[in-house]
Each structure stands twice: as structure tokens, then as C-alpha cells.
Chains A and B, each alone.
Chain A
Amino acid sequence: MSVANGFYTVRLVFSKTGRAKYISHLDLYRAMTRVLRRAAIPLWYTEGFNKHPYITFAAPLSLGHESVCERMDFRLTDETVSMREIVDRINACLPEGLKAISAAEAVTKASDLGYAKYRLRLSCSPAVLRAFLDQPSILVEKKTKKKGGVKTVEIKPHLKDVSVEDADGQAVLTITLPYSNDMTVNPTLLLTALSAFAGAEVTGEACRLELFDRHGAVFA
């Protein structure tokens, strides 16, 4: 562990389920700041006029989606608190639906994120889903960085580790999607394409299962 520049960076893995899935990204930032303060973690504050703790999230989650693999980085001023204790202290202060799973010194840079694995419980049948996935090509409309801009993107080659299960007639899809600076396909995009294919709105409950780096290793 290294305390260069007076701080070192801890990466917390936590889940966000149940009532907590309605916490927006901005609100989560505020809530977590207060959780860390409540937990009396020796937080490192930025210098300057408007001092604030350094906290970032690797991969913002869509509102309404659940996750068991969120990553939050924050900086500590000293290393006397063990990782185990950090997790315990944070868990004692978290609101319903948020739960700390593990903590370790951050290794991979957020810019090296590559993929995210999801489970989607869908309102359509497994047959419809399979037909959708078996298409030779799946085109979706994606917003571009330019305001109001859209472009059509082929996503079929990006769908990895696909598995379809049947849960009482409803399709449950497990899938790994790209999540990187170059290319991101989020489950909502997939649902939009699926709805267009099915000719009726397909809804789904999404849960993010794991994040991976560019090489396919677990994001640590």
C-alpha cells in the first residue's frame, strides 16, 4: 500500500438493490459522501477554496437497474484502518439497499474498463428473445456526443457470453456487453432494439453482475 501525495485510493465493491435502485447517480455521490463521513473513515480532502472529499464511481448505473458489482473509489489519508474494518464501518452506515461487499487498493484505471455482465429478467418469452438474438445483424440507434445527433450501430458482434433461460415462460438473459470509452452498449439500448423486433414494448429488470477490464479480467 502506498501513501503517495498524502493519500491512497481505496476501491469499494458494493451492491445497489431494492429501494436503492431509484437513487440517481448524482444522489448516490451525495449519499456516499455522507456515508463515509458518518463511518468516520479518515477521508482525504481536496485542497483549495472548496474542500471536498475525493470520491468517484467507475461505471454509472442507469436509474432503476440493480447491481451487485458497483465500484466506488475514495481517498484515505492514512492506512491504519484495515480493509475489513472499512467494509464493516461502511455497512453500519448504509441505507437500505446498499451493501458494501469488499474493499481493496484500486489497481485498474477507470479508463481501462472493458465489459459489464448483466442479468435481465424480461417480459417477453424465451422464444422471442432467441429469435431476436439469432438475427444475423442487430442495428441500434445510438446518441452521439453531439447534441441531438444519432448514429446507427451494429451491436451483434459485441454480444458475448449469451445465455437464455426460461423462468415460468419469461426469458432471463445473461449477457456481457461492452463498457468502455470506445463502445458501450447498455441494457436499455438492447431492450429498445428487442421491443422494435417484437413489435411491442419489452420491459426488463436489469441487474449488473460484474465489471471487467479490457482484457476480460475482473475490474479490480
Chain B
Amino acid sequence: MPTLDDLFLKVQKPSRYTGGELNSVMKDRAAVDVRFAFCFPDLYEVGMSHLGMKILYGLFNSQPDIWCERVFAPDTDMESLMREHRIPLWALESRDPLTVFDFVGFTLQYEMSYTAVLNMLDLAHIPLRSADRDERFPIVVAGGPCACNPEPIADFVDIFFLGEGEEVDLEVLRLYRDMKKDGTYTKAAFLRRAAQIEGVYVPALYEVSYNADGTVAAVTPKDNAPAVVRKRIIRDLDTCYYPESFVVPFTDIVFDRAQSEIFRGCIRGCRFCQAGFIYRPVREKSPEVINKQAHDLCASTGYEEFSLSSLSTSDYTKLEELLPMLLEWSEKEHTNISLPSLRVDGFSEELAQKLNVLRRAGLTFAPEAGTQRLRDAINKNVTEEEIFRTVTKAYNAGWTAVKLYFMMGLPTETLEDVAGIASLGQKLVNLFYQNPDRPKGKGVTISISCACFVPKPFTPFQWEPQDTAEQLAEKQAHLRESVTTKKISLSMHDNTTSYLEAVLARGDRRLCAVLEEVWKRGSKLDAWSEHFDHDRWIGAFRDLGIDPAFYANRRRSYDEVLPWDHLDYGVSKEFLIRESEKARAATTTPNCRQQCQHCGAACWKEGVCVERR
């Protein structure tokens, strides 16, 4: 049988599989109690860019009795060699197969990675279904945003962690260690006790029953599991663990830089955005802490760039305090600061100059909808005036390209709203040619990118149907006709992936069978368009007699039991219903700092909920 070393030279970019990167953590197998294989169900380049994984990798390894290692989905060339020679999936640090680990943990960032989870379990020679794994196999756990409705993969996972993992993960690992030590460990006993920890959801301890019309009748806990599982949050980000070093990859990855988290949550409450609800409430880190963490990280990694990480940089209340601190050392040390999702408005002239704010922010806007009415309906608080103001500044400064991001298929959207996308683009073209100070001798390009809306759990749109393929095709055609100038370039996303996302995002446990079937038929890296096969999915649904439209295109009533109703992310159903009704009336909602909406997240008495307004 060939060794791993024999395989490395036969594949593209072998350093994705070898481990040994700068700052990767090696420990003595015999000196640790718990071994944790942290799996990202996508390729190395994608997974290694993910901040959440870096935080938990550092946190686990800061514990002397835990060794956490990294695992990524192999690319197809490596996978076929592994299957040909029956070499099981290994963890990068020790190169041990996953079967020797105590825990195999997945982070679920997007629905289209679910088949990669199954494929990785299979490549690791671990049975897919929780019920088929006895004490000989690792406990399979999962967390991340998709855990807020984990039902479509509930049969494959032993434990889901809801919310922020920093505390709850360690509590579960310690329970495991203690039960192993005192001899009371069996998988069943462990899962029963873990389910008593707040933030832990053990799907096998819940029975789901269905109504004749296919909707969920009830989710019934057993073995004393709590009827409702509430997510966990970190109360104080300043004292919460943050890694002093990142693993620095050899090969180029998507985000190859240091990252400092500046706050969690988002005050805005855009109604389509799941992150704006499931990460509530907003909690900020203090500028001193951010500054120190950023500087330490750059020193330990040697990165030449770092970025501030959050859902919306401009909403950080102490940005004007933080940026000068960062600039003081970063300029000296030739380190670039990148400020994603920055609003150009609202900077002092001096700081804007110093930072070259325009260059950093780029000319990218996400109005999401083409008319003010629809922007009000989705509570996206961007006005044309704001865009015009910034774009004018940019034209004056010599810019000739603007990017606009939109969504199509938003609730209450009409063809008029769709045409509004084109006319907003047209207005920016006109703005350019009416500007006497525009760059001379150059044309302008407005790039419009249009994604398809996917209704998500725990948002005010969780009851909404997704537009059908026909409706979306009609809208796309209408947009194409509405664009009458070559100065506007239009790119519209294919809607077949969005359709499956809509199915999986709001699916129930009956979809586990579909996932397994579509994986058997060859799906494994669905997040990559070159590997995604829509027909394969549709074929699996058809052969199993499950109608995907039931999940994607059906309007739910407010009193329907939703598959995730037994999970509690702080935001109350009453609040989401209020927001849903306001969307229909195209009424906006002030953000958390302007006026608290009593969404429910104040139950933690933290962050923005207890700030002075």
C-alpha cells in the first residue's frame, strides 16, 4: 500500500494535505485526554480562510489535555487516490486516521456543504448515521450558522452546538473526559448527559411527528432532554479567548491574512439576513483589546495584511478611536489594514484622507433591492442619496467603476422593483456624465450582480415562499430588457443552487434520506459549480417521493410548527411576526441603537441591549 508521502507527489498543491504549516500545533498523543478532529467540509483553501475555525483550533489547543487537529475535504484527484488505495481520511497534524479521534467536529457554514460532510465521514471509514456508530467510533458534532436548523442532517450528527462555541464545546469535551475517567462512559449515557448542557442539541433525543399535510406536528423530547434548546453566547468579548497566532498556510488561500474580530451580531435587522438575527445581540470588543490582538497576531504570523472582521465595520462605535491606534504600528511595519463592508460616509475628512478610505472601501454597494419601497420592505437602510453622494466623491477622485449587489425574488417584489435595479444603474451612469469633474477621456462601468433570495430560518421571511424557477426566469428576463446601456454589465446567478439552499435551509428530517441518496449518486462538493449537478438532486427527490417545492416554494402560516421551533436563538416568534407584517406594509424598523424592538435577545442582558441610548 502506498504511503501518504507517495500520494502527495501525485496531486495538485500537495501542501494542502501535508500539515506542518507555521503555527500548526503538535502534541504528544499519550499526553492528552481528548483528541478532536476539526473538519471543514470544503477544500483547504476555503476552510483555512475561516475565522471561526481558527478561534476554536486555538482555544482547544490552549487546553493541555486536548489536542485539536484540522481536516479538510480532499480535492477530487486526492480523493480518487484515497479510494483506490483504501487510505482513510487523516488529520493534518498527526496524520492519524479520523477513527482514532474522540470527536469529529464539523462546522456548517452553508447548506451546500452537507454532502461534503457525508463524503468526509465516508472517506474516514466512519458510518454516516449516528444510529450506526457505536462506542468504537468518534462522537460526531457540528456547529456553525446552519446548526440553527440542523434537521436535514440530524440523522448523521450526534451533537449540535447552538450559538457561539467557545464555552459550550469545552463543557462537552470535559464531560466526555470525566465520564471516560470515572468509567461511566457509554455513548448513550454521554449523549443524555450532554443534552442537559445549555446550547447542546442531541437530535436522537427528539421524536418528530408529522401531520397528514406533511407539516411537522410536534417535536417531542425524551430521556429528560429539554423541550427547547437555547443557543449560547459569549457575554464579554474582551475577556473571551482569542488566538494569539493563526496557522499560516503555504499555499494561497481565499483570505490569507490576519483577522481581528471587532464585534459580534449586527444592529441593523435587514429582514432577509439570517446573520442579523441569529447572532444577536451586538457585543463589541474594546479598541485597546482589538489593537493588541491585531498586533500580536501580525507578529506571530508575519502576515503583511490584516482585516477587521464583523458583519458591518462601520457600525463599530469606536472606529475613530481604533483606526489611529492600528495605523500607528501598521505603517511602520509595512502591514496593510483592510476594512471590509465599510461605509465611506461618516468619516472625518482627516481620517478619510489618511486611510484612503475610498480606496479601501472600493466602490461596492449592496442596495439589495431596486426601489426604495422594496428596500423599506426588507429593512435595508441604504438610500439612493447616500449612494449618489459617495459615488460623486469617487468620480471626482478618478474612479470609473462601481459594483452593485442585488437580490432577486425578495418577498413583495414586483416587476417594477426589478426594473428599478436597472434604473438605479442608469442613474449612476448619468451621474458620471453630468459630473463636470469626472475623469476625462474615460467611460464608466456599472457592474450589477444579482443573486437569488433564499428564505432562512429565524428571519422575518422564514414563512415566505421562494420564487419558483419560472418566476425568477421572468424577472431575470425583465431585468435584462430593462438595461438599455452597454455601460451596465449584468451578472445574474444561476438559481438552481439557491433552490436547493432554500430546500435545505428550511428542511426537516425527512431530507436526511435525500442527502444520503444524492451523496451515493456522486454529490460531494456541491458548493463548487463545476461539481454541482442539479439533475442529480432532482432525481434523488423524485425517486424518494419527496417534493422539494414543499420546502422551497410553500408559504407557511404563522401557526405552523416549523422544524426548528424547538431551538431558541433569542429572537422571539412574536418579534419575527411583527417584522414580517411590517415588511408587507413596507415599513422600516429602527436599528438597535436607535430604538430597541424588544426582539427577545435582551434575555442575556448584554451588549447593545443594555447600552445607554
Contact = CB atoms under 8 A, between A and B. Distances in A.
A214 interface: no
A31 B22 contact: yes
Contacts of A30: 250, 252
B546 to A, nearest CB: 44
B14 A34 contact: no
A35 B8 CA distance: 24
A20 B251 contact: no
Interface in B326-360: 333-334
B22 A51 contact: no
Given A23-B250, A27-B250, A37 B304 contact: yes
Nearest to B6: A203
Nearest to A94: B22
B301 interface: yes
Nearest to B336: A51
Interface in A26-61: 27-28, 30-31, 33-40, 45, 51, 53
A35 B18 contact: no
Contact of A38 (B18, B21, B252, B300): B300
A132 interface: no
Interface in B502-527: none
B248 interface: yes
Q: Which residue of A22, A30, A63, A93 has the most chain B CB atoms within 10 A of its CB atom?
A: A22
Nearest to B21: A95
Interface residues of B, number: 25
A95 to B, nearest CB: 4
B32 to A, nearest CB: 19
Given A22-B8, A27-B250, A63-B14, A93 B302 contact: yes
Nearest to A32: B302
Interface string B239-259: 000000000101110000000
Given A19-B19, A95-B21, A64 B248 contact: no
A123 B525 CA distance: 37
B299 interface: yes
Interface in B279-300: 299-300
B190 interface: no
A97 interface: yes
Contacts of B252: 27, 30
A31 B301 CA distance: 10
B302 A51 contact: no
Given A24-B15, A51-B334, A34 B251 contact: no
B189 interface: no
B299 A19 contact: no
Contact of B299 (A22, A36, A38): A38
A18 B5 CA distance: 10
Contacts of A63: 9, 14
A154 interface: no
B298 to A, nearest CB: 8
B22 A95 contact: yes
Contacts of B362: none
Nearest to A45: B334
A66 to B, nearest CB: 12
Nearest to B250: A27
B334 A22 contact: no
A96 interface: yes
B20 interface: yes
A95 B246 CA distance: 13
B575 interface: no
B302 A33 contact: yes
A24 B23 CA distance: 19
Nearest to A205: B5
B14 A22 contact: yes
A31 B302 CA distance: 9
Q: Which residue of B20, B24, B303 has the most chain A CB atoms within 10 A of its CB atom?
A: B20
A18 B22 CA distance: 14
Given A63-B9, A63-B14, A97 B20 contact: yes
Nearest to A19: B20
B544 to A, nearest CB: 43
Contact of A34 (B8, B248, B334): B248
Interface in A86-100: 93-97
Interface in B1-59: 8-9, 13-15, 18-24, 26
22 contacts: A18-B20, A19-B19, A19-B20, A20-B20, A22-B8, A23-B250, A27-B251, A27-B252, A31-B250, A34-B22, A37-B302, A38-B299, A38-B300, A38-B302, A39-B302, A40-B299, A53-B334, A64-B8, A93-B302, A95-B22, A95-B23, A97-B20
Given A19-B20, A35-B22, 16 more contacts: A22-B9, A27-B252, A35-B302, A36-B302, A37-B333, A38-B300, A38-B301, A38-B302, A40-B299, A51-B334, A53-B334, A63-B9, A95-B21, A95-B22, A95-B23, A96-B26
Interface of B: 8-9, 13-15, 18-24, 26, 248, 250-252, 299-304, 333-334
The 9 A-B residue pairs with the shortest CB-CB distance, nearest first, are A34-B302, A19-B20, A38-B302, A37-B302, A27-B250, A22-B14, A96-B20, A95-B22, A22-B18
